Structure formats: C-alpha cells, structure tokens
Amino acid sequence: MERIENRIARITSLAIRELYNSGENPENIQVKSTRKDQKGDYTVVTFPLTRISRKKPEETGTEIGNYLKTHLPEISDFEVVKGFLNLILADKFWVDFFNGIAGDLEYGHKPVHFDSPVVVVEYSSPNTNKPLHLGHIRNNLLGFAVSKIISAAGNHVIMVNLVNDRGIHICKSMLAWQKWGYGITPESSGIKGDKLVGEFYIRFDKEYKIEIKELISKGLSEEQAKVEAPIMKEAQDMLLKWENSDPETIELWSRMNSWVYEGFDKTYQQLGVSFDKFYHESETYKLGKDLVTAGLDNGALFRKKDGSVWADLTSDGLDQKLLLRSDGTSVYMTQDLGTAHQRFEEFQFDRHIYVVGNEQDYHFKVLKLVLKKLGFDWADKLYHLSYGMVELPHGRMKSREGAVVDADDLILEMIDTARKVSAELGKLEDFPVEEKELVNYRIALGALKYYILKVDPQKTMMFNPEESIDFNGNTGPFIQYTCVRIRSVERKAIEMSVKSGFGLTSDLELDPRESTLLKRIYQYPDILEEAGRSLSPALVANYFYELVKEYNHFYQVCPILKEPDTEKRDFRLALSKFIANHIQDGMGLMGIEIPERM
C-alpha cells in the first residue's frame, strides 16, 4: 500500500501542474511529520515551491492545501504557517490503517524470499584465554540485535562467530597452567572453565612484568626487556610447536579450549544470544596463508630480507602491513583474509558485517585494501560496524590485569539488583519462588540489554547497573511493565467476556491520544527499515520507549474496560492488545523477553 507521505507528495505534484502549469518531481517535494508544537500530522514545505507559483509562501500553501483537501479524502483540514502547509488527516484514515494491521504479530517486518539479499554478521569473536566481559556483552547484544533487525528488514541473515583459539595470547595461558597449574581443572576446582583459563592468563602477565623489571634493572631498555624476557620466549616457542602440530602442545591446547567453550556456552545461554555457525581461527588461518602465498607469486605482495611478507599500502595513504612473520607464523590479518574469502565462497554474500569495537577501525580498512590488492572486488561488500567502548567509573577495562567486569558476574549482579528492586516495590510478593526467579531474570536481562542497545552503537557509553533497573524512564523494565499491564487488561476482558474490536467502522471518532498512538505506530516500518540500514538498534529501542510513554498517557486518561461506549471500548482493547504484541515483537528483536506478570 502506498504510504500517505508518498501519496501527499504525488498529489502535490499534480497540484503544481494544474495550479501553476509547471512540473515538479514528487521526489523533490518535502513531506515530513508536523512539528509537535503545531497542529497537523504531515507538513508540505512550500518555501521551495514559491519559485514555481511566484506567490508568497502563505498563498502558495493555501492554494495547494485546498487542492489536496479536494483530491485526497484522507485530509480533513489544513493549516498554513508561513512556508509550511500542515495537513490534518481524518480519523477515518487512522481507523482504516489500524483495521489493516490489527492482527499482524510482526507488523513492520518484510518477508524474506529465496532471492533476498544474503548478509553475514560476525559478532562475539572471543579469545579462548579469558572469560567474556562487559565489552563482550555490548558486542554480543549488538550483533544479535542487528542480525534480528536486518532479518526483519527483509534480508537472509547468517550469524557467525569466529573463535580466536590460537596465537601467542592462547599460549600465554597454556604456559602459565603448565608452570603453576599443578593439574588443576574446572572439575577439581569448581571454577568455570573460561574463568580458570583466564586466571592463568593474568598470572602470565604478572610473571612477565616481574621479568621485564629485572631485565631493566640489569641495563636493558624496556623494549629490549619485553623481547628478551624468558617467559615470553617460552610462549613464542610454544606457538611454533603448536603450528608444527607438536602432539603434547596440541593435546593441552585442545583440553584447555574445551574448558573455555563450555564456559562460553553458559554465558551465551544466559545472555540469550545464538549463532548459525562457528568458525575457529585454528582451522582458518592456513587459508589466509595460501592467499598470501598466491599474492607473493603474482606480485601483489612482497617479501622483506628477513623472510616476512608485507602488503604495501602507501599508495592508499596507509603504511606497509605485515601478513606473515619472518618465522612463517601468521597474524590476525592473515586469518581474516582467509575467513572472508571462505565465507564469500560459501555464502556469496551481498554484505558482510563485522561487529567489532572502534579500536579496530584501521584493521578493517586494511583488510578491504589487501583483499582488493589480491584481486577480490567483493571486498567492497565488507562493512565494519564500529562501536564505542563501554566505560566504567574507574576507566577502561584491562583484561591482562584482571581489572575487568566479568560478564557472568555482571549478570548475577543485575539479577540480584532486580530482586532488591522488586522486593522494595512489593511487586512479586505473592509469586511462587520459581516464577519469581524467572521474572527477576527477565527484568535483569531486559534492563541490561535495553540500557546498552538504546545507545547509538558508535558512541562510547557509561554503564550504570542501578540506573538500568528502574520501572520509570527510558529503561527495559519500564517497557516490560507496560506490556505486562496490557496483558492484565486482556485477562480481565476475558473474564468479563469482552472481545476486542476488529473491522471497526470507519466513522469512529478518535480521542487525540488514540490518534497520537496510531501516528507513532504508522512510523514504525520506516524506523525499522532505517535501523536495518544504519545498523542501529537504538532507533528501535527509542521508538518503543516513545510509544510506551504515549500509551501510558492514553491509559491514564482513556478508560478501556470501563468505557460505556462499547465501540470505543472494543477499539481501545484492540489497540492495547496490538500494542502489547507490537512491544513483544520489537523487544524480541533486541533479545528482550516480556514476563507474563510483574
């Protein structure tokens, strides 16, 4: 169905032709939502049209307004304010609109067909040397929500996770476990596997710093000390053994990685995120080495005297980029070349989105350039969703020192905070224990997810757990509670044998608050489309906050089940039910569950 904004632009174009004997492309006619401080639903900007009418803006607006009112039955009235023609839509338009969407549980979604664009979204991408932390939480929540939103916008989405399970950082944890682990396991210690391995990563860094300090005291510079530290040399030897498939090293690597995977799975389950496919760097890095070798052979890359292989990007305004070390071992860029190539061969994607923090902006710029040097034009389909870091009151997180907000600990803290807030408000006193815990979990995760996703991804954000769990304001619990309140009204309606009204008569007179709600809902398909285009769940989050605010104003002023006019009562119940379904669907795009009761 043609959007009303497009219809207004099209009929305005006809008005210009008939009134002023001149043509104007509908795409050049500005139609936008009317400002809140003025009367109207949509506004035609008439300033640019005065060059055609050769009349004052007010006169031009009045003439076009009269034409539109005559030729567009949806317009009940208009008002001219200087160079703006504010159009007021008839209640019939809004009622007919609602009749058309009332039963749609996925309002605003576009269908996915066999020929829909294929989009690969890579997110999470953890290292197997430490547990997930607050930064990973933003990554996972953003990647999952973006995937769901672009799927709802009509794309075939494949969610992938590249696990960084090899490299010098992995060897650091392995070496520390060999030296100071004394055979400890998650089972023997009762410590979650990813946390246990992370403790040895921290231990390595502690011992490394001690050795650096000792070498500096003996006259070495700090840079020399970092290279000559015995423990670092041992870690590098272990990496070489791993790449040469040393059985003992591979066995230890497999065992410690299995501990981490089990721990990651528990955290993913708690967060409610999932993936369609896992990749492992240990299986993909050789693909990149093959591409580098081919690039050497055809002259796209070059080798230095020490045997290392580089890409020269100076003509692109960058520098030279290392792709293979002198000892033949690969770097992150090498494996990213391989995985990108593998995925294009596998999926023939129309777009590949990397959800990675903004500290990697340079890395992904280089990735595209190197792939293009190697002759892959599809490199232009790669996109880095660069998001800002999550800050804490004491500054940035540093995983090597262990000064990091652990994801599992944060989730537990959020659940505990939800318990306290619910107890203070007395909202769950009569609930069975099991249901109470489920509600607190959904409130806690809803608060966490919404607080993070309501912020534009590109912005650095400060996370405040206490502020996020608030039943008032722009929070997840506020939106959840409104939906639960509507469900309560629905249950009461069933008890009263009241049915919501579908197929309402078009002559229903709307309360201004009902019109406001319908106007907000009408905007959603455009907002969802823009969220998919800009990869910003914040647009969806803040849309629902505004909708919920407006619904609460409506709820306070307009009686539903106590409304004496049965047609109005049935309409308000139907509108409320639609909004509850709409909230549930929209929150679901962000991975937020709505409790049955709160």
User: What's residue 4's pLDDT?
Assistant: 96
Number of CB atoms found within 10 A of residue 115's CB: 7
- How does DSSP assign 23-80, residue by residue? ---GGGS-EEEPPTTSS-SEEEE-GGGHHHH-S-HHHHHHHHHHHHHHH-TTEEEEEE
pLDDT at 563 over 70: yes
pLDDT in tens, 30-41: 999 999 899 999
Least confident of 205-219, 267-281, 384-398: 384-398
Asked if residues 339 and 130 have their Cβ atoms less than 8 Å apart, the reply is no
Q: Which of 58, 57, 74 is nearest to 11 (CA)?
A: 74
Q: Which of 188, 105, 118 is nearest to 583 (CA)?
A: 105
**What number is the average pLDDT over the span 1-8?**
92
Q: Which residues pair with 159 in a beta bridge?
A: 121
Nearest-angstrom CA–CA distance, 480 and 446? 8
Beta strands 156-163 and 31-33 are unpaired
pLDDT at 557 over 60: yes
Domains of the chain, by residue range, sit at 4-89, 123-391, 412-589
User: What's residue 21's pLDDT?
Assistant: 92
How far is C-alpha 532 from the geometric centre of its chain's CA atoms? 10
Nearest-angstrom CA–CA distance, 139 and 386? 10
Beta strands 31-33 and 42-45 are antiparallel
**What number is the average pLDDT over the span 392-400?**
50
Structural element, H or E, at residue 205: helix 193-217
Q: Which of 485, 490, 507, 503 is nearest to 573 (CA)?
A: 490
pLDDT in tens, 15-57: 999 999 988 888 899 999 999 899 999 999 999 999 999 999 9
Collapsed DSSP state (helix, strand, coil) of residue 382: strand
Nearest-angstrom CA–CA distance, 575 and 98? 8
**What number is the average pLDDT over the span 554-573?**
94
pLDDT at 498 over 90: no
Residue that is written with structure tokens 């629902």 in the block = 544
Q: Is 354 exposed, middle or buried (0-12, 13-18, 19+ CB in 10 A)?
A: buried
Nearest-angstrom CA–CA distance, 416 and 465? 11
User: What's residue 507's pLDDT?
Assistant: 80
**What number is the average pLDDT over the span 271-280?**
96
**What number is the average pLDDT over the span 397-424?**
78
**What number is the average pLDDT over the span 309-326?**
95
* Pair of tokens at residue 401: 């020192």
Q: Which of 400, 417, 401, 419 is nearest to 409 (CA)?
A: 417
Asked if residues 440 and 425 have their Cβ atoms less than 8 Å apart, the reply is no
**What number is the average pLDDT over the span 244-270?**
97
Q: Which of 146, 164, 168 is nearest to 155 (CA)?
A: 146
Q: Is 343 exposed, middle or buried (0-12, 13-18, 19+ CB in 10 A)?
A: buried
Asked if residues 30 and 48 have their Cβ atoms less than 8 Å apart, the reply is yes
User: What's residue 397's pLDDT?
Assistant: 40
Number of CB atoms found within 10 A of residue 207's CB: 19
If pLDDT is split at 50, 70 and 90, which confidence band does 390 have?
confident
User: What's residue 467's pLDDT?
Assistant: 87
CATH of region 4-89 = 3.30.1360.70
CA atoms 549, 438, 141, 451: torsion sign = positive
User: What's residue 23's pLDDT?
Assistant: 81
**What number is the average pLDDT over the span 268-276?**
97
Least confident of 304-318, 329-343, 477-491, 551-565: 329-343
Average pLDDT, the chain: 93
pLDDT at 242 over 50: yes
pLDDT at 490 over 70: yes
* Pair of tokens at residue 151: 């799927």
* Pair of tokens at residue 70: 């005559």
**What number is the average pLDDT over the span 156-167?**
95
**What number is the average pLDDT over the span 343-348?**
97
If pLDDT is split at 50, 70 and 90, which confidence band does 180 have?
very high
User: What's residue 400's pLDDT?
Assistant: 44
User: What's residue 396's pLDDT?
Assistant: 44
Alpha-carbon distances of 166 from 273, 362, 442, rounded to whole Å: 24, 22, 35
Q: Which of 535, 521, 471, 481 is nearest to 123 (CA)?
A: 535
Percent of the chain with pLDDT over 90: 84
pLDDT in tens, 116-155: 999 999 999 999 999 999 889 999 999 999 999 999 999 9
* Pair of tokens at residue 542: 């803040």
**What number is the average pLDDT over the span 574-586?**
97
Nearest-angstrom CA–CA distance, 296 and 308? 11
User: What's residue 63's pLDDT?
Assistant: 97
Number of CB atoms found within 10 A of residue 426's CB: 8
Number of CB atoms found within 10 A of residue 255's CB: 12
Asked if residues 152 and 177 have their Cβ atoms less than 8 Å apart, the reply is no
Tell me which amino acid residue 460 is: T
Collapsed DSSP state (helix, strand, coil) of residue 317: coil
pLDDT at 395 over 80: no
User: What's residue 270's pLDDT?
Assistant: 96
CATH 1.10.730.10 matches 412-589: yes
- How does DSSP assign 577-589, residue by residue? HHHHHHHHHHHHH
Q: Which residues pair with 156 in a beta bridge?
A: 118
pLDDT at 399 over 60: no
If pLDDT is split at 50, 70 and 90, which confidence band does 236 have?
very high
**What number is the average pLDDT over the span 173-185?**
97
Alpha-carbon distances of 343 from 151, 257, 278, 367, 532, rounded to whole Å: 19, 24, 12, 14, 21
pLDDT at 1 over 80: no
pLDDT at 254 over 90: yes
Q: What is the CA radius of gyration of the chain?
A: 30
Tell me which amino acid residue 486 is: I
- How does DSSP assign 78-108, residue by residue? EEEETTEEEEEE-HHHHHHHHHHHTT-TTTT
Question: May I ask the CATH architecture of the domain 123-391?
Answer: 3-Layer(aba) Sandwich (3.40)
pLDDT in tens, 421-441: 888 888 788 889 999 999 999
pLDDT in tens, 207-234: 999 999 999 999 999 999 999 999 999 9
pLDDT in tens, 57-79: 999 999 999 999 999 999 999 99
H-type alpha helices, 496-596: 512-522, 524-534, 537-557, 566-589
Q: Report yes or no on whether pTM surpasses 0.85.
A: yes
